[in-house]
Amino acid sequence: VMTQTPLSLSVTPGQPASISCKSTQSLLHSDGRTYLSWYLQKPGQPPQLLIYEVSNRFSGVSDRFSGSGSGTDFTLKISRVEAEDVGVYYCMQSVQLLTYAFGQGTKLDIK
């Protein structure tokens, strides 16, 4: 089970934002990788990959986004929120092929 906090946040443009994701099990695989990803679903669009394996930014993703954490506790940080960052953020674990699981989602809007 993946638990995200907060479930919503309202941020002033230019200010930082942080989202936490906690897993009930370690996401460290026997291959040494930790399978925790972050996605952003903008309004009316499919989800898009932001971060994979905890801290690797996907191609084309702004360096304002960063991921950190280990084991069961993870964080997505946005250094300076912009209007285009509005949407719902999801964490997801893929350490076990049988039990992919998304967090509940965190809705970010602009103040």
Partner 1 sequence: QVQLVESGGGVVQPGRSLRLSCAASGFTFSSYAFHWVRQAPGKGLEWLTIISSDASLKYYADSAKGRFTISRDYSKNTVYLQMNSLRPEDTAVYYCARTRNFDYWGRGTLVTVSS
DSSP letter string, 11-65 = E-TTS-EEEEEEESS--B-TTS-B-EEEEEE-TTS--EEEEETTTEEPTT--TTE
CA atoms in the 13 A half-sphere facing the CB of 67: 26
CA atoms in the 13 A half-sphere facing the CB of 110: 9
Which residue from 14, 46, 63, 83 is in contact with partner 1, where contact means CB under 8 A?
A: 46
Return the number of the residue (31 or 63) whose C-beta is nearest partner 1: 31
Which residue from 11, 21, 34, 37 is in contact with partner 1, where contact means CB under 8 A?
A: 37
Return the number of the residue (72 or 93) whose C-beta is nearest partner 1: 93
Residue 67 makes contact with partner 1 by CB under 8 A: no
Residues in contact with partner 1 by CB under 8 A are: 35, 37, 39, 41, 45-49, 52-53, 58, 88, 90, 92, 94, 97-98, 100-105
